[in-house]
Amino acid sequence: MSESTVKTNEKGYNRNTSKPVHSVPDNACDCHMHIVGPFKNYPKRELGSLNPPESLLEDYLGVASRIGLKRNVVVQPSFYAKDNSCTLDAVEKLGDRARAIVVVDPSISDNELCQLHTRGVRGVRFQMIAKGGLSFDALETLSRRITLLGWHAQLWLDARDLPELEGRLRQLPVDIVFDHMAHVYESSGMTEPGFRILLKLLEENRCWVKLSNGRFAPDGERAGRLIAVNPERVVWGSDWPHVSHEGDAPDDGVLLDRLWDWAPDAATVRALLVDNPTKLYFTA
């Protein structure tokens, strides 16, 4: 599989977040963001790929309030490896407005998995993009074990890996959620076999896709195509605090406003921000 070289955004999140031009629907959910620190309580565990500055829960809540987000999904970042304490503690402080995606050791017990569920976990993240993540070697084994919990497998990969992975993914007993439009490299194109596989999986209700592409230039064509294929299986995420963004971090208000360019109407925007996240994260 492909392996990307990611670079740390050393400046951290954008401190000058603008309010969205459009009216954000009530109960809108940010389905992909991270909490980083404080490091005195949550030291980084893996610095092989990313070494970002602190971006604290209170920092995120300020941004979320300004742009109109009422719910969020905290995703375990690679630099915390399998130490989920920062992610889980953030969800505990946020209460029922938040859910978590974690990275676990394949040897984790069933009882420990159940305990994670009570703490708001709804999926396990697999990836080979940055050091510290959970490799695809454990994909089948862990997917079988999390089926009864109603969790999903979240994948951080490039669509160019999908021809190699498609057979395995179709055999999984759980839903699949692709990070960042399955788009890691800027050269990953719309006409590649992998992207066609992604569209097919999405059309068949075999997967979900996150429009969380702040690390790249605006990708309206890719986002619009994914929404058109299956608007009931697409969600949005800010990717705050943009730990691997190249250059200055984007304005999250502007990122959110892009949805109105990508989606055909306000009803679809509501599905992406409210209805679909409810089904994926908040019903189990």
Domain assignments of the chain as residue spans, ordered by start: 29-281
Q: Would you state the pLDDT for residue 43?
A: 97
**pLDDT exceeds 60 at position 4:** no
- pTM score of the predicted model: 0.96
State the pairing for strand pair 175-178/71-75: unpaired
Q: Residue 212, CB half-sphere, CA atoms under 13 Å: how many?
A: 30
Q: Would you state the pLDDT for residue 173?
A: 98
Report residue 215's pLDDT band, with 50, 70 and 90 as the boundaries: low
Give the residue carrying structure tokens 């990508």: 262
Task: Report which residue type is found at 185.
Answer: Y
Report the alpha-carbon distance of residue 259 to residue 273 in Å, rounded. 9
Task: Report which residue type is found at 99.
Answer: R
Task: Report which residue type is found at 2.
Answer: S
Q: Would you state the pLDDT for residue 16?
A: 96
- Tell me the C-alpha to C-alpha distance, in Å, between residue 268 and each of 110, 182, 277: 38, 21, 13
In 3D, which of 144, 84, 97, 149 has the Cα closest to residue 123? 149
pLDDT digits (tens, 9 = 90+) for 167-187: 999 999 999 999 999 988 777
**pLDDT exceeds 70 at position 3:** no
Report the alpha-carbon distance of residue 82 to residue 102 in Å, rounded. 8
Give the CATH number of domain 29-281: 3.20.20.140
pLDDT digits (tens, 9 = 90+) for 11-36: 999 999 999 999 999 999 999 999 99
CB atoms within 10 A of CB 19: 12
User: Is 239 part of the annotated catalytic residue set?
Assistant: yes
Choice among 179, 239, 251, 252 that is catalytic: 239
| Under 8 Å between Cβ of 144 and 173 | yes
Mean pLDDT of the chain: 94
